[in-house]
Amino acid sequence: MKQFLQVLTLSALAWLPTASGQPATSPASGPRPGTVTAHSQGLHGYIGYRATRPGDRSEFSAGMGFYAAVWPLIDQPIANFQIGLPSAWITPDNSDNKDQPLAPEGTLARTWAPRGPTWSSVFQTVEGGLGYWAGNHFRYGPPKFSMNATPQCYDYEVGSPGWSFFYDNEALPDNRLGIAQLSNRLLIPPDALPFEGNPNGEFLGYTYMALPFTDPTTGDPPTGDQAWTCFLSAANFKGPIAYYIPETWSKIGKLFNYPFIYGRGLDARPGNMGGGAMEINTVPRFDGVDANGTVYSKIPRLQFPVDPQGRSLLVQDVVYYSKAALYDAFKTWRDGGPACSGRFDEKGAWRSSLTRRDTRYDQAGKVITGVERVFDNEVLDGGVWGLVWRENGPSPKGVFPRYFKRVGEECVVVSAAEVPKETGLLDQEFEKATLGVPYTSPQTPAWTKPGPTRGPFTVDLADGSRVTYSWYRFIDQPSFQQYDWSQAKREKLQNFIERLHAQWPVDRDYMTPPSRGELVSLDPALLVTPPPGLELGYVPIVTHQEAAPR
């Protein structure tokens, strides 16, 4: 998951009191044994895979999906911690453009010179997935699932029907809302979707499909018909949850008066996904020294599920889809033809082969060596990507190395038994995360005019939060209110959503079931039932999320 924008620039905490309550020593006098200092930048790197693509990439570019394992990477919530579980990154295919900037002057990404001359990799993205994010307000141990997208060169992100990707407590401005909630049976909180219990390697399937909920337009800006729609496959919920409104991608061209990028966004271009990875981003660490002045470091315990063969199975069933998988039948149904089931047609599916990516890890810029003595990342039988753990390594099977010794400009993996007691590291515990401040929605026109039909209602989630939500008519939900659509267009879309709600249940397989393993369950508290009279064409929009009373 590409979340390089989300690195917290946490300065080293060397001048804060140590765990013993005494100030850390100054650089002039040098650290002493027993003095432990707290820092960020404990671990950075990627563990990933490449996914092969068909020869004609433009054909199988209307959808991408896979099954990813869900497990508690950490056994308790930790502050200042961010690691993405295996996820992916979708961009619009602008491979025909070799030298013209896609990022307009004035956008954040345009300041990133190494991404030039086209800035295609940071123009627009669909990201998100499974993980832990430093901005989460409500941590509870297991990971969460979140949508996320960057429609305007990383100027802002859209992570839920109301909010950005954990950056702000208040909802996005009305003109930056981008996700239309589609499901009438699932809540989508701003702090992401928690899971039931304590998963241990069960799989969550998710696929983004480009679907034509509306027709393309030729106005200013011209807008394509591709609504990238997120489908989930869990044990207790299956089907689409929400989609990115096509105008979310097209309006950047008009906003910056830059016609070159008309038709080059994810509303109109084929999607491109080249593989996936775990992104190790923001990890705290402790440093300590031994009697000889050698620096040792410690990071939190990062754990993986391990099967009887000593493997961690992380990703399987990576599939690329053409329009024959769903788009064509969906459009026919929308325009008055026979209803489609929503199941992805195998005639439009292309199953990818995976290959491992080389890994590289660092700690505060210093290369980490020795991880290969603990595990290898490999592609296993059946096209499953994961980790293979070595016997008798310097870290227990299923646990990423926790301790490192500074040797020159490298950090060398060592076992706990090799860490001198006088460093003070062995008994150090990392700061626990606390419940954050509420997410709030404003009383702006998008939320209030025409506003909800019924509510508010509340429910308490597994992550310790309480969610407030109200039922909106689909076309009246906040994300649509920024657009001056004709009444005929609005009603056509509303009527189609009512048919979709009637025809697509949450217990049908839309994605092909996983080749192996069991499906994970979402937090049952996320599942809701429409009130009487609102069964079709209404959706539950979260308007507030706060810590639940204890």
Q: What is the pLDDT of residues 127-146, one digit of tens each?
A: 989 999 999 999 999 999 99
Secondary structure letter of residue 237 according to DSSP: -
Q: Average per-residue pLDDT in the chain?
A: 92
The rounded percent of the chain whose pLDDT value lies above 90 is 88
Sign of the C-alpha dihedral, residues 262, 267, 268, 270?
positive
Task: Say how far apart CA 385 and CA 137 lie, in whole Å.
Answer: 31
What's the pLDDT at 30? 57
Q: What does DSSP say about strands 366-369 and 410-414: parallel, antiparallel, or unpaired?
A: parallel
Backbone angles phi, psi at 172, to 5 degrees: -60, 155
What's the pLDDT at 386? 96
* Segment 469-485, tens digit of pLDDT: 999 999 999 999 999 99
Q: What does DSSP say about strands 202-211 and 227-233: parallel, antiparallel, or unpaired?
A: antiparallel
Q: Evaluate whether 254 touches 71 at the Cβ level (below 8 Å).
A: no
Q: What is the mean pLDDT of residues 75-84?
A: 93
Examine the pLDDT at 28 and tell me if it is beyond 80. Answer: no
Examine the pLDDT at 287 and tell me if it is beyond 60. Answer: yes
Tokens at 83, concatenated: 């690691």
Task: Say how far apart CA 329 and CA 322 lie, in whole Å.
Answer: 12
Task: Say how far apart CA 504 and CA 426 lie, in whole Å.
Answer: 54
* Segment 320-340, tens digit of pLDDT: 999 999 999 999 999 999 999
Tokens at 299, concatenated: 């990071």
Q: What is the mean pLDDT of residues 166-175?
A: 94
Backbone angles phi, psi at 255, to 5 degrees: -60, -40
What's the pLDDT at 6? 34
Q: What is the mean pLDDT of residues 174-182?
A: 98
- How many alpha carbons lie under 13 Å from residue 97 in its C-beta half-sphere? 21
Secondary structure letter of residue 310 according to DSSP: S
The closest of 358, 117, 43, 329 to 209, measured between CA atoms, is 329
Task: Say how far apart CA 453 and CA 451 lie, in whole Å.
Answer: 7
- How many alpha carbons lie under 13 Å from residue 219 in its C-beta half-sphere? 9
Task: Say how far apart CA 425 and CA 299 lie, in whole Å.
Answer: 10
Tokens at 338, concatenated: 């026979």
Task: Say how far apart CA 198 and CA 103 lie, in whole Å.
Answer: 42
Tell me the whole-structure pTM to 2 decimals: 0.92
Q: What is the mean pLDDT of residues 214-224?
A: 96
What value, to the nearest 5°, has the Cα angle with vertex 140 and ends 462 and 66?
80
Q: What is the mean pLDDT of residues 17-22?
A: 34
Examine the pLDDT at 166 and tell me if it is beyond 80. Answer: yes
422 vs 12, 120, 289, CA distance in Å? 22, 51, 7
C-alpha 219, offset from chain centre: 32
Give the number of other Cβ atoms within 10 Å of residue 399's Cβ. 16
Q: Read off the pLDDT band of 33 (50, 70, 90).
A: confident
Amino acid at 79: A
Q: What is the mean pLDDT of residues 412-435?
A: 95
280 vs 307, 336, 444, 490, CA distance in Å? 23, 47, 37, 43
Secondary structure letter of residue 497 according to DSSP: H
Q: How far apart are the first and last CA of the chain?
A: 34
Q: Read off the pLDDT band of 366 (50, 70, 90).
A: very high
Task: Say how far apart CA 20 and CA 238 lie, in whole Å.
Answer: 51
How are the residues of the chain apportioned to helix, strand and coil, as percentages rounded to the nearest 5?
A: 15, 30, 55
Contacts of 68 (CB under 8 A, 6+ apart): 85, 86, 87, 129, 130, 203, 204, 205, 206, 276, 314, 315
* Segment 3-18, tens digit of pLDDT: 333 332 222 222 233 3
What value, to the nearest 5°, has the Cα angle with vertex 83 and ends 80 and 84?
140
- How many alpha carbons lie under 13 Å from residue 530 in its C-beta half-sphere? 19
* Segment 108-130, tens digit of pLDDT: 999 999 999 999 999 999 998 99
- How many alpha carbons lie under 13 Å from residue 397 in its C-beta half-sphere? 13
Task: Say how far apart CA 447 and CA 485 lie, in whole Å.
Answer: 17
Contacts of 319 (CB under 8 A, 6+ apart): 63, 64, 65, 66, 207, 344, 349, 350, 351, 352, 512
Examine the pLDDT at 103 and tell me if it is beyond 90. Answer: yes
138 vs 144, 316, 481, CA distance in Å? 10, 29, 29
Q: Read off the pLDDT band of 316 (50, 70, 90).
A: very high
Listed range (56-65, 148-157, 429-438) with the worst mean pLDDT: 56-65
Tokens at 227, concatenated: 């609504």
Examine the pLDDT at 21 and tell me if it is beyond 70. Answer: no
Q: What is the mean pLDDT of residues 297-306?
A: 97
